[in-house]
Amino acid sequence: MEIKTEKMPTPVKYIVTVDADDMENRKKKTYEQLKPDIVLPGFRKGNVPQDVAESHLGVERLYKTTMDDIFRDVVDLEQTIISSSSFKFYGDLKKKVPFIVEFIAEVRPTVKLASLDKIRDTVKIEEVSVSEDDLKKKIELEIKRSEIIQDTTKEVLENLDVAVIDFEGCLAGEIKPFKGGIAKGYQIRVNEIVNGQKQFVGNFEDQLIGMKINETRQVNVTFPTNYRETSLAGKNAVFIVTLKFIKTKIIPEYNEQFARTKGFDTLETYEQSLKKQLLEVKQKNEIDALKRKIVIELIAHSEISPIPQIMIDRENENEWSAFQKRMGKTEEQLEKEKISKESFFDRASLKSIEMLKASLVLEQVAKDYYITATEDEVVKYCLRISNFLKFDEKREEKIKEELKTNKHQYRLMEIRTINEKTVEFLSSGTRT
């Protein structure tokens, strides 16, 4: 089989020539596969000669799968093809002559990598350190994590008490509660400021002050105009709230006893441990940032041919499906919230293009530097990223079985493993 290509403005024109002998063998193979099911008057089923079958059934009908097989063989040889159209066929299927197939194909973009040495010279890892402010914030976080909630005998709710409430919220003038507007046994520390804001909107929490155990009270609020749930933004709502319990939050003192509860003899040794943890996190974050920078620089300085729209559309589709899953909503539900698929695609296209460029560049690096992944490496990667099986003692065997029976899933995980190894390879030359 001879394959020629002609470059066009975006796609590629393929001219595939199948020589006479090869074509005869392909036709014979197709005939033998179909022969058992061919029925014609005057012949027993499965005994119709090839020339008779051609004459009565027509060569186009008889050898349709031959055309499909030729295309599949081309795709296997030319693995850059991502879509095809406009097929044309030249040749006489009734005779032993060469056969020509022409079609237009969109192909994966080509990548000419920039010099890795030059990229590595421009991107270097930064030295990191732990400041006193870093340590202070870490200590505050550890104290926060060590807080405990205790029962009280209080009968009347006061500011900064922990209230356990049942509530049901409806928009003003409506009877049916809005989504997320119902809760039982909800725990809230009244008027506590966390990250600059209270837990509930408006003056909801102020209206709880003075409630008694088992008292039910109506609370009126107005949602902010920029509220994250657009269906509630700027609207008035009425909550029916019942106070079930009053508790209190115990905040531990930061002293030697606190250090001992964490397994350290003194505050000094405890703080040394915290500094070490902070430094390790900062170093990891710096390495992760370095990896992102080097890939970005490599994309910027490499030559990447135009990305076919079909690849962008496929990536947009993947992002749209992931978005729907995150939101837990159907396309129709998102349309009602004025989030259309078309508008999403408009916003997602730039991100999709950058993701495709990164994928293409990493793929080229792996190809040029012979970076591959063994089956064990793929399994280890899956073990590291799998959450749904993390409490299963037999999760490794289950992952292996899944990868063994699902070739598509294995290839996907193999690509991700190779990409991870490639990024590590790229960044390894920039660290001291």
The answer on pLDDT for 388 being more than 80 is no
CA-based nearest residue to 320, from 305, 309, 330: 330
Tell me which residue has tokens 């079958």. 53
The answer on pLDDT for 177 being more than 80 is yes
Q: What is the pLDDT of residue 338?
A: 81
The answer on pLDDT for 93 being more than 90 is no
CA-based nearest residue to 98, from 19, 14, 22: 19
Q: What is the pLDDT of residue 122?
A: 86
Tell me which residue has tokens 């003003």. 172
Rounded mean pLDDT, 8-23: 84
Q: What length is written for the chain?
A: 432
CA dist., res. 201 & res. 193, Å (int): 12
272 — pLDDT class (breaks 50, 70, 90): very high
Q: Is 419 or 404 the better-scoring residue by pLDDT?
A: 419
One DSSP character per residue, 41-65 reads TTS-TT---HHHHHHHH-HHHHTHH
Q: What is the pLDDT of residue 49?
A: 87
The answer on pLDDT for 186 being more than 80 is yes
Q: What is the pLDDT of residue 380?
A: 87
User: What percent of the chain is predicted at pLDDT more than 90?
Assistant: 45
Token pair belonging to 321: 């499906």
How many other C-beta atoms lie within 10 A of the C-beta of residue 161?
22
431 — pLDDT class (breaks 50, 70, 90): low
Q: What is the pLDDT of residue 280?
A: 94
46 burial type by CB count under 10 A (0-12 exposed, 13-18 middle, 19+ buried): exposed
* Mean per-residue pLDDT over the chain, rounded: 88
Q: What is the pLDDT of residue 399?
A: 81
Rounded mean pLDDT, 284-302: 91
Q: What is the pLDDT of residue 391?
A: 60
Q: For 225-328, where are the E strands, in sequence order?
A: 236-250, 303-304
341 — pLDDT class (breaks 50, 70, 90): confident
Q: What is the pLDDT of residue 429?
A: 65
Q: What is the pLDDT of residue 401?
A: 83
Q: What is the pLDDT of residue 260?
A: 93
Rounded mean pLDDT, 355-381: 92
Rounded mean pLDDT, 205-213: 95
Domains of the chain: 2-107 (3.30.70.1050), 148-250 (3.10.50.40), 267-428 (1.10.3120.10)
Q: Is 221 or 391 the better-scoring residue by pLDDT?
A: 221
* pTM beyond 0.85: no
146 — pLDDT class (breaks 50, 70, 90): very high
Q: What is the pLDDT of residue 356?
A: 93
208 burial type by CB count under 10 A (0-12 exposed, 13-18 middle, 19+ buried): buried
Q: Is 1 or 264 the better-scoring residue by pLDDT?
A: 264
Q: Is 431 or 329 the better-scoring residue by pLDDT?
A: 329
Render pLDDT for 102-143 as a digit per residue (tens, 0 to 9): 988 888 898 999 998 888 888 888 888 999 999 999 999 999
CA of 341: how far to CAs of 135, 241, 306, 308, in Å?
Answer: 46, 39, 24, 20
CA-based nearest residue to 311, from 321, 303, 319: 319
69 burial type by CB count under 10 A (0-12 exposed, 13-18 middle, 19+ buried): middle
29 — pLDDT class (breaks 50, 70, 90): very high
